Amino acid sequence: MEKDTDITRNIRIIEFLKSEILTSLASLFHNLLKGSKANREALLDILANIIMATYVLSKRLGFEHRVIDSKIMDKIKISKLEEHEIEKWYGDLSGLSDYLKKRT
């Protein structure tokens, strides 16, 4: 019976996290629509919430944080090799890669 409770609780938290991510995305889009009137602190809070909820969701789905970080690094490498526009124009992927390497 306790195992059923754990499974049910895990399903509920996964659904909650999915909802949290969608709500945060909607809030992000709404704030970005405001343009220059958008509060930078509100945007920062929303982005942090999306990242946090995504990491927690990945953990609930059975992925360790380091595995997610490794997958992100793999995707960055591929995007750089494919000369993704965001890298060509701004070097953002290299910056993110450098940040993640320093963090580990």
Q: Is the pLDDT of residue 9 over 80?
A: yes
Residues 14 and 58 in one domain: yes
Q: How far apart are CA 56 and CA 7, in angstroms?
A: 16
Residues 36 and 17 in one domain: yes
Residues 102 and 87 in one domain: yes
Question: Residue range 38-47: average pLDDT?
Answer: 92
- Quote the domain boundaries for residue 88: 64-104
Give CB contacts under 8 A, 24+ apart, made by 57-64.
57/14, 57/17, 57/18, 57/21, 60/10, 60/13, 60/14, 60/17, 61/14
Q: Is the pLDDT of residue 36 over 80?
A: no
Residues 16 and 41 in one domain: yes
Q: Is the pLDDT of residue 57 over 80?
A: yes
Q: How far apart are CA 8 and CA 2, in angstroms?
A: 10
End-to-end Cα distance, the chain = 40
Number of domains observed in the structure of the chain: 2
SS3 at position 35? helix
Residues 6 and 57 in one domain: yes
Residues 21 and 43 in one domain: yes
Residues 7 and 43 in one domain: yes
